[in-house]
């Protein structure tokens, strides 16, 4: 318990620092003193509007989305007992991307606004979850390898469908499709952010309650069953909830890769494999990573903005290679 509290204290301190940096850094920069002075600014002050309507929602969304993807990564790596599994391995992002691309091609976003894209993305992700779950679980028995292979195949099929639809799309639709695929924290709809926030913390609480079972499953399904763990029930429950969390996250922020892979690996290297510590640490670590990546994405070529998935891919891939180059063993 002492180690858990110390870990959370350190991560919360880093979170405060990264959030403060995200508030201050941008095309229009602020000093900490200027931030404090804005407390007395009138409501129509443009600087106050920049902070409250643009940067604060991005910080909150970065924390929740990064935490959700990292949390889903830890859970899926635990139930599959494979440290290289991440939320997008199961084809959930591919299904969401197909749904959003189809909505853009049909012009639904122009008729019903940006909410139509999020809904289309979630429906695509939900369809993928049903297919993977249906094929991977037969007669009440979980077939881990079938779940994983089905997800990988759906990823390939989704990529092919994406290329087909993009080749048939209008030229003016391509930038929107490409930018969504590579992810963004530009969503400011309070209802969507609240939905992701509630879902993320519910799944975090649920997974923390099942942390002892996840620890036991590291020894293998048979050994875990001997210790009294109902492995089929645990896998079904955590798979469904982590997949739904990923689907909601992808439908709101797009495809942001590497967060659910690299953050859990770094947390394991630093803190060990005890899921009671790893789950909350990965959640907050993912949020910090995504907030910092967003700062880079919106400032490196300011006033233009890079898709955040480009930054997470470059940083995450580079860090992963460096860790491997130093001989660190991938643990699960």
The tens digit of pLDDT for each residue in 218-250 reads 887 778 787 788 888 888 888 888 888 988 898
**CATH code for 2-325?**
1.10.3470.10
Q: What is the DSSP letter of 54?
A: I
Question: Hey, where are the domains in the chain?
Answer: 2-325
Q: How remote is the C-alpha of 221 from its chain's centroid?
A: 27
Q: What is the pTM of this model?
A: 0.88
Residue of 98, 97, 96, 87 whose CA lies nearest to 151: 87
- Whose tokens are 């967060």? That residue is 259
Beta-carbon count within 10 A of 87 CB: 28
Q: Give residue-wise pLDDT tens across range 50-59.
A: 888 888 899 9
> For residues 284 and 66, what is the distance between their CA atoms, to the nearest angstrom?
8
Q: Per-residue pLDDT averaged across 152-172, rounded?
A: 85
The answer to whether 181 touches 254, Cβ cutoff 8 Å, is yes
The answer to whether 185 touches 294, Cβ cutoff 8 Å, is yes
Cis omega before residue 303 (within 30°)? yes
Which region holds residue 272: left if phi is over 0, alpha if psi is between -120 and 50, else beta?
A: left
In degrees, to the nearest 5, what angle opens at C-alpha 87 toward C-alphas 293 and 274?
90
> Residue 118 class from Cβ within 10 Å (0-12 exposed, 13-18 middle, 19+ buried)?
buried
The answer to whether 215 touches 272, Cβ cutoff 8 Å, is no
Phi, psi angles (nearest 5°) of residue 120: -65, -40
Q: What local confidence, expressed as pLDDT, does residue 13 receive?
A: 92
Q: What local confidence, expressed as pLDDT, does residue 292 receive?
A: 93
Q: What local confidence, expressed as pLDDT, does residue 302 receive?
A: 77
The answer to whether 214 touches 79, Cβ cutoff 8 Å, is yes
The Cα-based distances of 272 to 6, 134, 276, 277, 331 in angstroms read: 14, 34, 10, 8, 9
Whether residue 93 is predicted with pLDDT greater than 60 in this model: the reply is yes
> Residue 59 class from Cβ within 10 Å (0-12 exposed, 13-18 middle, 19+ buried)?
buried
- Whose tokens are 């991005």? That residue is 58
Q: What local confidence, expressed as pLDDT, does residue 331 receive?
A: 57
- Choose the most confident range, by mean pLDDT, from 4-8, 59-63, 128-132: 59-63
Least confident of 21-30, 71-80, 320-329: 320-329
Q: Per-residue pLDDT averaged across 129-153, rounded?
A: 81
The answer to whether 33 touches 47, Cβ cutoff 8 Å, is no
Q: Give residue-wise pLDDT tens across range 113-134.
A: 667 888 888 888 888 888 888 8
Can you spell out the DSSP letters for 204-244? HHHHHHTHHHHHHHTT-HHHHHHTT--HHHHHHHHHHHHHH
Query: Which residues neighbour 173 within 8 Å (Cβ) at sequence distance 6 or greater?
Result: 104, 105
Question: What b-and-e string marks burial along 147-186, b requiring 16 or more CB atoms within 10 Å of the CB?
Answer: bbebbeebbebbeebbeebbeeeeeebeeebebbbbbbbb
The answer to whether 128 touches 189, Cβ cutoff 8 Å, is no
């Amino acid at each position: 318990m002492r180690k858990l509290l110390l870990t959370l204290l350190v991560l919360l301190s880093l979170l405060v620092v990264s959030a403060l940096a995200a508030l201050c850094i941008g095309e229009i920069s602020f000093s900490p003193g200027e931030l404090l002075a804005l407390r007395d600014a009138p409501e129509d002050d443009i600087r106050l509007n920049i902070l409250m309507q643009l940067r604060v929602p991005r910080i909150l969304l970065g924390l929740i989305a990064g935490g959700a993807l990292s949390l889903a990564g830890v859970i899926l790596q635990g139930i599959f007992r494979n440290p290289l599994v991440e939320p997008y391995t199961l084809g959930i992002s591919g299904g969401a991307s197909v749904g959003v691309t189809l909505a853009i091609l049909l012009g639904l976003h122009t008729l019903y606004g940006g909410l139509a894209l999020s809904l289309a993305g979630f429906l695509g992700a939900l369809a993928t979850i049903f297919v993977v779950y249906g094929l991977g679980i037969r007669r009440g028995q979980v077939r881990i390898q079938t779940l994983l292979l089905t997800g990988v195949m759906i990823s390939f099929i989704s990529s092919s469908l994406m290329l087909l639809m993009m080749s048939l799309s209008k030229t003016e639709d391509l930038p929107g499709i490409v930018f969504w695929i590579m992810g963004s924290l530009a969503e400011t709809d309070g209802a969507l952010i609240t939905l992701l926030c509630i879902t993320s913390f519910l799944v975090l609480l649920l997974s923390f309650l099942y942390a002892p079972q996840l620890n036991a499953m590291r020894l293998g399904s048979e050994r875990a069953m001997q210790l009294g763990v109902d492995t089929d029930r645990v896998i079904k429950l955590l798979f469904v909830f982590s997949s739904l969390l990923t689907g909601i996250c992808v439908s709101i922020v797009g495809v942001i890769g590497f967060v659910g892979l690299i953050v859990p690996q770094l947390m394991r290297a630093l803190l060990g494999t005890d899921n009671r510590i790893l789950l909350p640490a990965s959640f907050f670590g993912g949020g910090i990573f995504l907030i910092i990546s967003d700062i880079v994405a919106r400032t490196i070529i300011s006033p233009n903005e890079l898709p955040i998935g480009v930054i997470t891919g470059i940083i995450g891939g580079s860090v992963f290679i460096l860790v491997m180059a130093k001989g660190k063993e991938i643990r699960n």
